[in-house]
Amino acid sequence: MPEGDTVWLTARNLNAALAGQRLTGFDLRVPTHADADLTGSTIDEVVSRGKHLLIRIGDHSLHSHLKMEGAWHLYRQGSGWRRPAFEARVILETLDWQAVGFALGITELLPIELESTAVGHLGPDLLGRDWDPAEATRRLLADPGLPVIIAILDQRNLAGIGNEYANELCFLRGLLPTRPIGAVLDVAGLLATAHRLLRANRERSIRSTTGDLRPGRTNWVYARAGLPCRRCGTRIERGRVGRGPLLQRDAYWCPHCQV
C-alpha cells in the first residue's frame, strides 16, 4: 500500500532519471488533459509532498496521487511494461527513459503557480526538509477528541501516514486506536516514532515496522487480526474507528499491549 515512504522513494528514483532531461514524448491519458503536450520541455525536478508526487516541468506541475493501486514505473526505452497498457495514465518519454504512471488515483496538470491548490492543505511532511513536529503537534491537538488513529491519518495534520503506519504507530506507542488524541501524554514521542519509521523505510523495497524483513514478520498488528501478538500472545483484534461510516478506518490492536 503506497504511503509517504513509497512516494518519497518513487520521487527520488524519477528525479534521478528525469531531472534536467528534455521530453521527447508526453501523453496524459485522462479526459481533462488529453490535448496537453509538453514535448520539448525540460523536466526540472520530481518531488514528493506527503503521499502526493509533483513533476515540475517549466511553467507546469504534473500532480499525481497513487491512492490504493497506483504506481510509477521507469523503463529503459524499448523495454516491455510490467503492467497492462490500459492502466497507463501518464507516459513521459526522454531519450533514454519512459516513466509510466499506472492506475493513478489523481492525475492533473497545473500551472506551477497553482500547485498549492493540490498540496497546500497538507500538514508538515514527515520526510520533507521542512518537517516541523511542533506544528504537527499543534494541528493534532486542535481537535483533542478525535481518535488517535484518525488524527494521525488526517493529512492536514501531518503528511505521509497511511493506514498501515497509523496502526503500527499506535501499537508501538501502546495506544488504543480509539484513545482521544488529547489524552495522549507524549504526542512528541508519537511523532518522533513516526519520523524514525518513515526514515528507516524510505529506501527499502520492503516496509517493516518490526525490524524484520522476512515475509510475514514485518508488522506488529496491521492485517494480523486473529493472530497472536508478537509481544504477549494475545489475539489481535480488528474494528472500525472514525466519525460516521464514510470516515471510518480499519484498526488493528492488541488489547493487552495497548490501552
Cβ pair 77, 98 in contact under 8 A? yes
Average pLDDT for the chain: 96
CA distances from residue 170 to 37, 187, 218, 255 in whole angstroms, order as listed: 45, 11, 16, 12
What is the rounded average pLDDT of the residues 178-186? 97
Q: According to the model, what pLDDT value does residue 1 have?
A: 65
Query: Per-residue pLDDT tens for 228-247?
Result: 999 999 999 999 998 766 57
CA pair distance 186, 49, nearest whole angstrom:
26
CB atoms within 10 A of CB 42: 14
What is the Cα–Cα distance from 171 to 152, expressed in whole angstroms? Answer: 13
pLDDT tens digits, 37-53:
999 999 999 999 999 99
Superfamily of domain 4-119: MutM-like, N-terminal (3.20.190.10)
pLDDT of residue 247: 73
Q: Cα–Cα distance between 259 and 247 in angstroms, integer? A: 23
Instruction: Give pLDDT, residue 245.
Output: 60
Cell numbers of 246, please?
Answer: 464514510
All CATH 3.20.190.10 domain ranges in the chain, comma separated = 4-119
Those residues whose C-beta lies under 8 Å from the C-beta of residue 128, and which sit 6 or more positions away, are 48, 49, 159
Residues classed as catalytic: 2-3, 51
All CATH 1.10.8.50 domain ranges of the chain, comma separated, are 133-253
Q: Report pLDDT digits (tens) over 79-112.
A: 999 999 999 999 999 999 999 999 999 999 999 9
Note the pTM of the prediction, 2 decimals: 0.94
Residue 177 has pLDDT above 90, yes or no: yes
DSSP-based three-state secondary structure for 189: helix
Work out whether the CA dihedral 74, 76, 78, 82 comes out positive or negative.
negative
List phi, psi (to 5°) of 222. Answer: -60, 130
pLDDT over threshold 70, residue 65: yes
Fold exhibited by the domain 133-253: Helicase, Ruva Protein; domain 3 (1.10.8)
Q: What sign for the dihedral angle of Cα 238, 223, 218, 12?
A: negative
Work out the percent of the chain whose per-residue pLDDT is above 90: 95
